[in-house]
Protein backbone atom coordinates (compact mmCIF):
# COMPACT_ATOMS: atom_id res chain seq x y z
CA UNK A 1 0.00 0.00 0.00
CA UNK A 2 1.27 3.36 -0.97
CA UNK A 3 -0.23 6.64 -0.02
CA UNK A 4 1.51 9.95 -0.47
CA UNK A 5 -0.27 13.14 0.37
CA UNK A 6 1.28 16.30 -0.92
CA UNK A 7 -0.32 19.49 0.26
CA UNK A 8 1.49 21.64 -2.21
CA UNK A 9 0.17 19.74 -5.18
CA UNK A 10 1.42 22.30 -7.63
CA UNK A 11 4.95 21.12 -6.93
CA UNK A 12 4.21 17.77 -8.46
CA UNK A 13 2.68 19.46 -11.47
CA UNK A 14 5.77 21.53 -11.94
CA UNK A 15 8.01 18.54 -11.50
CA UNK A 16 6.20 16.69 -14.20
CA UNK A 17 6.28 19.64 -16.53
CA UNK A 18 9.99 19.86 -15.95
CA UNK A 19 10.80 16.32 -16.96
CA UNK A 20 8.11 15.14 -19.30
CA UNK A 21 9.75 16.59 -22.36
CA UNK A 22 13.03 14.95 -21.60
CA UNK A 23 11.80 11.52 -20.68
CA UNK A 24 8.77 9.71 -22.01
CA UNK A 25 8.43 6.81 -19.64
CA UNK A 26 10.04 6.34 -16.29
CA UNK A 27 9.81 4.41 -13.10
CA UNK A 28 8.95 6.24 -9.93
CA UNK A 29 10.62 4.48 -7.08
CA UNK A 30 9.01 4.77 -3.71
CA UNK A 31 10.79 3.72 -0.62
CA UNK A 32 10.46 4.62 3.00
CA UNK A 33 12.82 7.50 2.46
CA UNK A 34 11.10 9.16 -0.40
CA UNK A 35 9.70 9.32 -3.86
CA UNK A 36 12.34 9.30 -6.53
CA UNK A 37 12.89 8.91 -10.20
CA UNK A 38 15.91 8.44 -12.32
CA UNK A 39 15.74 8.30 -16.06
CA UNK A 40 17.77 8.98 -19.10
CA UNK A 41 16.51 10.64 -22.17
CA UNK A 42 16.15 8.31 -25.09
CA UNK A 43 19.46 9.23 -26.61
CA UNK A 44 21.29 8.64 -23.35
CA UNK A 45 22.81 12.05 -23.34
CA UNK A 46 20.99 13.47 -20.39
CA UNK A 47 19.81 12.02 -17.15
CA UNK A 48 17.27 13.33 -14.74
CA UNK A 49 17.22 12.45 -11.08
CA UNK A 50 14.29 13.50 -8.94
CA UNK A 51 13.97 13.14 -5.23
CA UNK A 52 11.05 14.13 -3.07
CA UNK A 53 11.87 13.23 0.48
CA UNK A 54 9.29 11.55 2.61
CA UNK A 55 9.37 14.38 5.14
CA UNK A 56 8.06 16.75 2.51
CA UNK A 57 4.75 14.92 2.32
CA UNK A 58 2.00 15.50 4.79
CA UNK A 59 1.35 11.79 4.80
CA UNK A 60 3.88 9.32 3.51
CA UNK A 61 3.00 5.70 3.70
CA UNK A 62 5.05 3.24 1.74
CA UNK A 63 4.85 -0.26 3.14
CA UNK A 64 7.37 -1.71 0.80
CA UNK A 65 9.58 -0.44 -1.93
CA UNK A 66 7.62 -0.10 -5.08
CA UNK A 67 8.52 0.95 -8.55
CA UNK A 68 5.77 2.44 -10.64
CA UNK A 69 6.30 2.78 -14.36
CA UNK A 70 4.44 5.67 -15.80
CA UNK A 71 4.19 7.49 -19.02
CA UNK A 72 5.17 10.95 -17.96
CA UNK A 73 3.16 12.60 -20.66
CA UNK A 74 0.01 10.91 -19.44
CA UNK A 75 0.85 11.61 -15.87
CA UNK A 76 1.37 15.26 -16.65
CA UNK A 77 -2.01 15.33 -18.34
CA UNK A 78 -3.63 13.90 -15.24
CA UNK A 79 -1.92 16.35 -13.00
CA UNK A 80 -2.98 19.18 -15.20
CA UNK A 81 -6.49 18.38 -14.07
CA UNK A 82 -5.53 19.32 -10.57
CA UNK A 83 -5.95 22.86 -9.43
CA UNK A 84 -2.88 24.75 -8.41
CA UNK A 85 -3.93 24.84 -4.80
CA UNK A 86 -5.18 21.27 -4.70
CA UNK A 87 -3.82 18.68 -2.38
CA UNK A 88 -2.59 15.73 -4.38
CA UNK A 89 -2.60 12.22 -3.02
CA UNK A 90 -0.91 9.38 -4.87
CA UNK A 91 -2.24 5.96 -4.02
CA UNK A 92 -1.36 2.50 -5.18
CA UNK A 93 -2.41 -0.84 -3.81
CA UNK A 94 -0.03 -3.73 -3.56
CA UNK A 95 -0.10 -5.83 -6.63
CA UNK A 96 -2.26 -3.40 -8.48
CA UNK A 97 -1.27 -2.24 -11.90
CA UNK A 98 -2.79 1.16 -11.52
CA UNK A 99 -2.01 4.29 -9.61
CA UNK A 100 -4.61 6.74 -8.38
CA UNK A 101 -4.18 10.46 -8.19
CA UNK A 102 -6.63 12.15 -5.89
CA UNK A 103 -7.06 15.88 -6.02
CA UNK A 104 -8.75 17.70 -3.16
CA UNK A 105 -9.63 21.30 -3.47
CA UNK A 106 -8.37 23.47 -0.61
CA UNK A 107 -11.88 23.86 0.73
CA UNK A 108 -12.46 20.12 0.58
CA UNK A 109 -15.63 20.56 -1.42
CA UNK A 110 -14.32 18.91 -4.53
CA UNK A 111 -12.52 15.62 -4.71
CA UNK A 112 -11.41 14.05 -7.96
CA UNK A 113 -9.93 10.64 -8.54
CA UNK A 114 -7.83 9.83 -11.55
CA UNK A 115 -6.68 6.32 -12.07
CA UNK A 116 -3.87 5.57 -14.44
CA UNK A 117 -2.45 2.30 -15.65
CA UNK A 118 1.10 1.54 -14.75
CA UNK A 119 3.60 0.32 -17.26
CA UNK A 120 6.40 -2.17 -17.17
CA UNK A 121 9.48 -0.22 -17.92
CA UNK A 122 12.94 -1.63 -18.13
CA UNK A 123 14.83 0.91 -16.23
CA UNK A 124 18.53 1.23 -16.17
CA UNK A 125 19.46 2.61 -12.87
CA UNK A 126 22.77 4.35 -12.95
CA UNK A 127 25.04 4.84 -10.04
CA UNK A 128 25.96 8.46 -9.83
CA UNK A 129 29.15 8.84 -7.87
CA UNK A 130 29.61 11.71 -5.52
CA UNK A 131 32.09 13.97 -7.12
CA UNK A 132 33.93 17.11 -6.21
CA UNK A 133 33.13 19.61 -8.85
CA UNK A 134 35.71 22.06 -10.04
CA UNK A 135 33.21 24.84 -10.26
CA UNK A 136 29.78 25.38 -8.81
CA UNK A 137 27.68 28.29 -9.95
CA UNK A 138 24.51 29.27 -8.18
CA UNK A 139 22.45 31.80 -10.00
CA UNK A 140 18.87 32.93 -10.47
CA UNK A 141 17.07 30.25 -12.40
CA UNK A 142 15.21 32.73 -14.56
CA UNK A 143 18.50 34.27 -15.58
CA UNK A 144 19.88 30.91 -16.59
CA UNK A 145 16.73 30.14 -18.54
CA UNK A 146 16.95 33.41 -20.39
CA UNK A 147 20.59 32.93 -21.26
CA UNK A 148 19.94 29.47 -22.63
CA UNK A 149 16.97 30.66 -24.59
CA UNK A 150 18.84 33.61 -25.99
CA UNK A 151 21.88 31.65 -26.98
CA UNK A 152 19.79 28.99 -28.63
CA UNK A 153 18.64 31.54 -31.15
CA UNK A 154 22.23 31.86 -32.29
CA UNK A 155 23.87 28.50 -31.92
CA UNK A 156 23.33 24.91 -31.01
CA UNK A 157 25.90 24.58 -28.32
CA UNK A 158 26.94 26.60 -25.34
CA UNK A 159 30.38 26.75 -23.89
CA UNK A 160 30.21 27.34 -20.18
CA UNK A 161 33.50 28.63 -18.85
CA UNK A 162 34.09 29.40 -15.24
CA UNK A 163 37.08 31.51 -14.34
CA UNK A 164 38.02 33.82 -11.54
CA UNK A 165 36.28 36.60 -13.36
CA UNK A 166 32.95 34.90 -13.51
CA UNK A 167 30.97 32.47 -15.57
CA UNK A 168 30.75 32.90 -19.27
CA UNK A 169 28.18 31.37 -21.57
CA UNK A 170 29.16 31.57 -25.18
CA UNK A 171 27.84 30.27 -28.41
CA UNK A 172 28.52 30.66 -32.05
CA UNK A 173 26.24 30.15 -34.96
CA UNK A 174 26.54 30.49 -38.68
CA UNK A 175 25.86 34.16 -38.68
CA UNK A 176 26.50 35.34 -35.19
CA UNK A 177 28.18 34.60 -31.94
CA UNK A 178 27.40 35.65 -28.43
CA UNK A 179 28.94 35.74 -25.01
CA UNK A 180 27.17 36.30 -21.73
CA UNK A 181 29.36 36.89 -18.72
CA UNK A 182 28.02 36.82 -15.20
CA UNK A 183 30.15 38.05 -12.37
CA UNK A 184 29.84 36.94 -8.83
CA UNK A 185 27.30 39.15 -7.16
CA UNK A 186 26.23 38.60 -3.60
CA UNK A 187 25.17 42.11 -2.71
CA UNK A 188 21.53 41.69 -3.49
CA UNK A 189 18.35 42.22 -1.57
CA UNK A 190 17.03 38.75 -2.02
CA UNK A 191 19.36 35.81 -1.61
CA UNK A 192 17.92 34.05 -4.63
CA UNK A 193 19.08 36.87 -6.86
CA UNK A 194 22.68 36.27 -5.99
CA UNK A 195 25.19 34.79 -8.34
CA UNK A 196 27.70 32.77 -6.40
CA UNK A 197 30.68 31.08 -7.95
CA UNK A 198 32.74 28.54 -6.11
CA UNK A 199 35.70 27.45 -8.10
CA UNK A 200 38.72 25.33 -7.39
CA UNK A 201 40.04 25.52 -10.89
CA UNK A 202 38.87 27.04 -14.15
CA UNK A 203 36.73 24.80 -16.27
CA UNK A 204 35.21 25.09 -19.68
CA UNK A 205 32.77 22.66 -21.19
CA UNK A 206 30.51 22.52 -24.21
CA UNK A 207 26.92 21.40 -24.09
CA UNK A 208 24.01 21.08 -26.43
CA UNK A 209 21.71 24.00 -25.84
CA UNK A 210 18.75 21.93 -26.72
CA UNK A 211 19.10 19.96 -23.54
CA UNK A 212 19.86 22.99 -21.47
CA UNK A 213 16.66 24.53 -22.65
CA UNK A 214 14.86 21.39 -21.78
CA UNK A 215 16.26 21.56 -18.26
CA UNK A 216 15.12 25.11 -17.80
CA UNK A 217 11.55 23.84 -17.91
CA UNK A 218 12.15 23.29 -14.21
CA UNK A 219 12.60 27.00 -13.64
CA UNK A 220 9.17 27.44 -11.99
CA UNK A 221 10.23 25.06 -9.26
CA UNK A 222 12.94 27.17 -7.82
CA UNK A 223 14.28 30.68 -7.88
CA UNK A 224 17.84 29.50 -8.09
CA UNK A 225 19.68 26.96 -10.09
CA UNK A 226 22.97 25.35 -9.28
CA UNK A 227 25.29 24.39 -12.09
CA UNK A 228 28.15 22.11 -11.17
CA UNK A 229 30.92 21.63 -13.65
CA UNK A 230 33.96 19.47 -13.82
CA UNK A 231 35.96 18.55 -16.82
CA UNK A 232 35.48 14.87 -17.57
CA UNK A 233 32.09 14.88 -15.88
CA UNK A 234 28.57 15.64 -16.95
CA UNK A 235 27.30 18.99 -15.85
CA UNK A 236 24.72 18.93 -13.09
CA UNK A 237 21.91 21.44 -13.28
CA UNK A 238 20.03 21.29 -10.04
CA UNK A 239 16.73 22.84 -9.06
CA UNK A 240 15.55 22.51 -5.51
CA UNK A 241 11.98 21.37 -5.07
CA UNK A 242 10.78 23.48 -2.19
CA UNK A 243 12.47 22.16 0.90
CA UNK A 244 11.66 18.59 0.14
CA UNK A 245 13.97 17.54 -2.60
CA UNK A 246 15.52 18.31 -5.92
CA UNK A 247 15.57 17.71 -9.61
CA UNK A 248 19.03 17.20 -10.99
CA UNK A 249 19.73 17.12 -14.64
CA UNK A 250 22.96 15.58 -15.82
CA UNK A 251 24.17 16.33 -19.28
CA UNK A 252 27.13 14.74 -20.97
CA UNK A 253 29.42 17.33 -22.45
CA UNK A 254 30.23 17.51 -26.07
CA UNK A 255 33.61 16.22 -26.89
CA UNK A 256 35.66 18.95 -28.36
CA UNK A 257 37.84 17.52 -31.02
CA UNK A 258 38.18 20.69 -32.89
CA UNK A 259 38.21 23.52 -30.49
CA UNK A 260 38.28 26.14 -33.17
CA UNK A 261 34.99 25.08 -34.53
CA UNK A 262 32.95 24.79 -31.44
CA UNK A 263 34.53 27.29 -29.21
CA UNK A 264 34.04 30.93 -29.78
CA UNK A 265 37.11 32.99 -29.57
CA UNK A 266 37.96 34.07 -26.12
Partner 1 sequence: MQMAPKETLGILQQIEALVSDKLQVVSYKWLSREFLVPSNAAKQLLHEFVETHGSAIEVIYTLSGWLKRNPSSYHVKLVSAPKLEEAKKEFDGNCSVQVYSVQACIPKDPGELWNAEFVQAEELFKQPAKDDNCLRNSRFCGILNSFVKRTVDGTDISAAASHPKGVEVSEPPKSNSTRQSITVPPPMPVKLPQRGLSVSPKSTNVINDVKTESTEEPASEPPAEKLKVTHDSTANKTKGQIVKDFVNGGSLANLWGRASAKSKPSTKAAEDNKLSSNSTEKGSSGDEAQDIKFKGASNGKGSKKRRVVFDYSDDECEDPVNLASPDLPKELSNQSFVSEKEDRAKLKGKESTEGSSNQLWGKDSSAVSNIADPKTSSEKIHGQMTGDARKDIITVPTAGSPKRRKVLNTRIDERGREVTEVVWEGEDAATNKDDRSTVKSGNNEEASTIKHSAPATKKSPAVGNTTLANPGGKAGNKKGGHKDPKQGNILSFFKKV
Binding interface with partner 1 (CB under 8 A): 40-47, 124-129, 156-157, 174, 206, 208-211, 214, 233-234, 250-257, 262
b vs e for 3-34, b when ≥16 Cβ sit within 10 Å of the residue's Cβ?
Answer: bbbbbbbbbbbbbbbbbbebbebbbbbbeeeb
Instruction: Please state, in angstroms and rounded to a whole number, the distance separating the CA atoms of residues 61 and 226.
Output: 31
Distance of CA 96 to the CA centre of its chain: 29
N-to-C CA span, the chain: 57
Name which of 95 and 129 has its Cβ closer to partner 1. Answer: 129
Q: Which of 116, 22, 9, 111 is nearest to 52 (CA)?
A: 9
**CA within 13 Å, CB half, 266:** 11
Name which of 172 and 240 has its Cβ closer to partner 1. Answer: 172
State the nearest-atom distance from the C-beta of 247 to partner 1, in Å. 16
Name which of 134 and 206 has its Cβ closer to partner 1. Answer: 206
State the nearest-atom distance from the C-beta of 123 to partner 1, in Å. 10
State the nearest-atom distance from the C-beta of 157 to partner 1, in Å. 7
Name which of 74 and 100 has its Cβ closer to partner 1. Answer: 74
State the nearest-atom distance from the C-beta of 24 to partner 1, in Å. 9
Amino acid sequence: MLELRLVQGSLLKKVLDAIKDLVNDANFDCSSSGFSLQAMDSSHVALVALLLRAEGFELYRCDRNISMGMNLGNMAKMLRCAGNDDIITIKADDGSDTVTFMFESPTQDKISDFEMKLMDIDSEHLGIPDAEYQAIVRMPSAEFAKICKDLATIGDTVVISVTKEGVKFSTRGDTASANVVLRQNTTVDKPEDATVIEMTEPVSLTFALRYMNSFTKATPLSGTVTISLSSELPVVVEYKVAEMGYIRFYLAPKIEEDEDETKPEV
